Structure 1
């Protein structure tokens, strides 16, 4: 069973078109008359999950393309080129406004559920608590993304009117973290460890997410108002990660490629994912993901798919030369996830490496927007490697760190290593989680982002479009349309 349901009420669909930070319900019909019983709140929570639509592409564009994994300077004007090139004009970039709007859209949906639900409408305490826990988990996830992308953001823990929203400034990152941590702590208490169906948030997913929040919060501040607060919460993260590991709900998957198989969704490596459907009987209806199309060349797509689409030739999205050079010949991960070349429709070999990690040509959708592969947001492998990170950052067991990294390397077909340090761990994470939207966040929270990115810029920026990477570029520009809503309500982030 998929979480992206085919029937979504119009009152929730309308929210997806909201561009501004307006936390008022759409109409009196949606806010006053809709919520009558538990089934109505179930649909409302499902609509909140559906606000994750686009999560996969968003993190690929804003994390992986921002990082040293990808070099895409472009010769044209594509939305991702200024992100790759660290340009200071990003306030008008559609990727900024999409990230802002999508996350606040999800927060609005979660807030509406939390404001409306009560004992009289959902008398079953277990059902009510579970619905509240799911809404809080999702609200925490949306706010965590906002903090990582933008730093300070408006703090909204309930639905407000448009007039009230115009008086709410951006809150300090520490205050936003307070809500995130409270929501996830409640979700841990309110949610079950597992379900009989795939795709819903569990208490273990909440623990894994809270552990990542603690690791991120523990990262350096870099002298900016970004996601790192030097909080030193590694021991708290370790406790949560060990709870997930010891729960027995997840297990090691021996074959790397099978983790991402369309026929093996919900496997034991998946802690929480974005659900996507390829339902040809319904014409797809926009319930899949465009992620694979956002990775492969348009010229390649013409030879293997019946529909148009792909990355335009003026701005190909390709793995960087330095990243490709990190792979050992025996490593199975790049063999599976990166296509080194292809034959175009003129029968020419094109030596343009591209990510195909989520592409299965035997599972073609009706169009390029609706690939039916789920996108992992939290994997069990990530939980294990976050434990290794927390141990390294807190002076924990080197033996345990080496054992975790060598499990990952053994699955990849590589020899064991010893005395793993933070740089070695990050390199292994880069290869393990390539194209999963984690790389930029990994570099930021571990304090390595400026060192790694500036060294990479010297080595890989053949087009000379990147003029160094500065601390202020760790977070993105506030979208200009938000600054224009009310003059002086928000200040632009430094450097933009």
Structure 2
């Protein structure tokens, strides 16, 4: 059974107390309150670090585990939210709706605020050993970096808060330009890369390898293929140092009970406990979820469109397809048709499975931000764009060999891409491979946007589905800032 974040409540209460004290100061219009954590002992420092991560894995935080994990996936070319989640298909309306991602915004900035608060506390501390302080700085800045990396891709310009908000006078902050935000993200990740450990005994905590893969992803998103390629290669060349490799079994990778695995670079940890789990397994399943072995309950919040080119062309021999997609299941020895919306979608997504969870808020499936497969596919994409596909084949073929259940180290006529592909054709294959490898992991929308393929892919699917109105061509690719920020921060307008 995966460990719970048993310090999360303690840290939440601590920060609530601090926030309340600050609020009292604001109401009284007295001079600025002073944030004070008290004496940072090694134990208190570790507990505080757990609190920095906590908003990201909060079961009702509506961040990666639900609204984003579901919503951004439904914005993929191959997915649809059906009758209950139709808003996610209307790209232009939802991206103009300032409250579409209002709660994730609040949770995201809570994590940023906690990271900032810890950084200030570390600056003031004179008693902790340097190595402990450096590691803590690294973790706090890693969390801040991944939060801003998510924010800049979703909203574009955002207020970049690098200090705690102590009172109402600190709330007003103008939005930073996108290059400025990326520079800060890179600065934070470079710092984290330099001080974090190669491995961690606490699954879900940042490591040197996680910072490197995140940097590679940031560089790839910026179009800096040389730096993306080099950073991904550092991880690949030193995989033994970091303990990384591809897991042979997909069931191991997506297990609801294992605390981690060798493919896990950085993931948000969820547990089979009330309000300590993820919703993902329940969101995608239908009303027969428990009997079918997928989840304790099923919300039927979306499905997969089989005529979408990515799905239509997915080889049925690919184990990832078999593991992730289904239209039938076996109940009491009988094959039963899964519940679908035949005029909207005809496949269910079953990548996340946890029929033994105590409740739909207690699914134990972790949510990956980065796996070792990320490093391999980032390298393949960047290397090809720089030098053509010759040296990029091995990285993508290793991923494909795992997908076909063959040896990772032996060339395979079944799994390997055909030799002699042009640079453009190989780039298309890497993009396709990312779609297969990361289906259900909320990366497709970002890939579609950063490669300039979003409008084209959605237009293609619109021409194939029975209700074209459900897939309008997007006219914008960034969400509107939420009201919660605009109403409290006059400079954000």
- Using the size of structure 2 for normalisation, the TM-score is 0.84
Q: Match for residue 85 of structure 1?
A: 90
Q: Match for residue 49 of structure 1?
A: 53
**Residue of 241, 251, 266 corresponding to 2:260:** 266
Q: Match for residue 5 of structure 1?
A: 5
Q: Match for residue 469 of structure 2?
A: 464
**What secondary structure is seen at the aligned counterpart in 1 of 2:267?**
strand
After TM superposition, give the deviation of residue 303 of structure 1 in Å.
Answer: 4.0
**Residue of 41, 45, 49 corresponding to 1:37:** 41
Quick check: 1:380 aligned with 2:372? yes
Kept after mapping to 1: 8 A contact 2:284/2:350:
yes
After TM superposition, give the deviation of residue 71 of structure 1 in Å.
Answer: 2.0
Segments of 4+ moved more than 6 angstroms: 14-18, 26-30, 305-308, 343-348
Quick check: 1:238 aligned with 2:229? yes
Kept after mapping to 2: 8 A contact 1:24/1:162:
no
**Residue of 393, 417, 426 corresponding to 1:402:** 393
Q: Match for residue 328 of structure 2?
A: 341
**Residue of 161, 165, 168 corresponding to 2:166:** 161
Q: Deviations over 1:412-470 (max 9, x none)?
A: 22432232521111111111111011111112222222222222222236252333222
After TM superposition, give the deviation of residue 351 of structure 1 in Å.
Answer: 5.3
Structure-2 separation of matches of 1:50 and 1:125: 25
Q: Match for residue 318 of structure 1?
A: 304
Structure-2 separation of matches of 1:424 and 1:205: 25
Q: Match for residue 29 of structure 2?
A: none
After TM superposition, give the deviation of residue 105 of structure 1 in Å.
Answer: 0.8
**What secondary structure is seen at the aligned counterpart in 1 of 2:65?**
helix
After TM superposition, give the deviation of residue 237 of structure 1 in Å.
Answer: 1.4
Q: Match for residue 71 of structure 1?
A: 80
Structure-1 separation of matches of 2:324 and 2:227: 34
Kept after mapping to 2: 8 A contact 1:296/1:354:
yes
**What secondary structure is seen at the aligned counterpart in 2 of 1:199?**
coil
CA-based RMSD? 3.1
Quick check: 1:289 aligned with 2:278? yes
Q: Match for residue 476 of structure 1?
A: 479
**Residue of 359, 377, 402 corresponding to 1:411:** 402
Q: Deviations over 1:183-234 (max 9, x none)?
A: 111101111111233221011110110110111122xxxxxxxxxxxxxx21
Structure-2 separation of matches of 1:214 and 1:3: 33
After TM superposition, give the deviation of residue 359 of structure 1 in Å.
Answer: 0.4
**What secondary structure is seen at the aligned counterpart in 2 of 1:55?**
coil
1:187–1:383 Cα change, 3 Å: same
User: Greater CA deviation, 153-162 or 175-184?
Assistant: 153-162
- Using the size of structure 1 for normalisation, the TM-score is 0.83
Structure-2 separation of matches of 1:426 and 1:476: 24
Quick check: 1:133 aligned with 2:138? yes
User: Greater CA deviation, 209-218 or 299-308?
Assistant: 299-308
Q: Match for residue 289 of structure 2?
A: 301
After TM superposition, give the deviation of residue 23 of structure 1 in Å.
Answer: 12
Aligned pairs for 1:185-204 within 5 A: 185-204=190-209
Kept after mapping to 1: 8 A contact 2:292/2:329:
no
After TM superposition, give the deviation of residue 40 of structure 1 in Å.
Answer: 1.9
Structure-2 separation of matches of 1:24 and 1:389: 50
Q: Match for residue 391 of structure 1?
A: 383
1:469–1:377 Cα change, 3 Å: same
Structure-1 separation of matches of 2:303 and 2:110: 28
After TM superposition, give the deviation of residue 484 of structure 1 in Å.
Answer: 2.6
1:87–1:455 Cα change, 3 Å: same
After TM superposition, give the deviation of residue 293 of structure 1 in Å.
Answer: 0.8
Unmatched segments (≥5 aa) in structure 2 = 26-32, 58-62, 341-346, 405-413
User: Greater CA deviation, 376-385 or 349-358?
Assistant: 349-358
**What secondary structure is seen at the aligned counterpart in 2 of 1:51?**
helix
Structure-1 separation of matches of 2:23 and 2:168: 14
1:367–1:303 Cα change, 3 Å: same
Kept after mapping to 2: 8 A contact 1:4/1:46:
no
Structure-2 separation of matches of 1:89 and 1:438: 18
Structure-1 separation of matches of 2:393 and 2:17: 48
Count of matched residue pairs: 456
**Residue of 208, 213, 226 corresponding to 1:208:** 213
Kept after mapping to 1: 8 A contact 2:247/2:262:
yes
Q: Match for residue 332 of structure 1?
A: 319
Kept after mapping to 1: 8 A contact 2:274/2:361:
no
Unmatched segments (≥5 aa) in structure 1 = 219-232, 279-283, 492-496
Structure-2 separation of matches of 1:321 and 1:154: 41
**What secondary structure is seen at the aligned counterpart in 2 of 1:392?**
helix
